[in-house]
Amino acid sequence: MKAVNNAGIITFYQSVPNSFRSSTGLHLNVKGWSSQDMKDNGLFDVIIDDSYDSRIHDLGEIYWDTGATVFKKDKSNKSFDKSVSELKEQSISNFKSRIGGELAKTDWYIIREADNGADVPADVVDARVALRELSDTVESEINALTTKAKVITYDFPNI
């Protein structure tokens, strides 16, 4: 990320822009410039703390750090209205809904077995068992978490 201060107005770029305007004028073909050329013309890096996670942090306003000669955005912790237990309940419920959606794809095998005794293929039975076990594992892992941040940043497995 890059930024330039043009007469007190900081313009922020997600990546190196093709062109930008600074106090010295309009600059073109910037992507081909060296890092030093960018700095010499007022285009500097924007530093955000490596531990920033948009799920649990907000970013402050961009500002110039004179000592480091870079622009910075500081992170701050988000506040959440829900309690840890409410967040756990919501996360578990959402994951169980996803598991339910996967199980629904093979429900017709189970219904057919109940209706007329047709055998359910072993791979279908195994896949359904694995999904239910995964759901139980995820629920246990989430219930073991102790902070809002840990619940919110829990990495759910792909299903």
pLDDT values of the chain reduced to their tens digit, one per residue, 159 residues: 999 998 889 999 999 999 999 888 899 999 999 999 999 999 999 999 999 999 999 999 999 999 999 999 999 999 999 999 999 999 999 999 999 999 999 999 999 999 999 999 999 999 999 999 999 999 999 999 999 999 999 999 999
Residue 158 belongs to a domain: no
Dihedrals phi, psi of 96, to nearest 5 degrees: -65, -35
Shared domain for 55 and 17, answered yes or no, is: yes
Residue pair 31/39 in contact (Cβ under 8 Å)? The answer is no
Q: Are residues 68 and 93 in the same domain?
A: no
Q: Is the pTM of this model over 0.75?
A: yes
Asked which of 31, 57, 77 is the last residue of a domain, the reply is 77
- Total structural domains in the chain? 2
109 and 63 part of one domain: no
Residues 18 and 49 occupy one common structural domain: yes
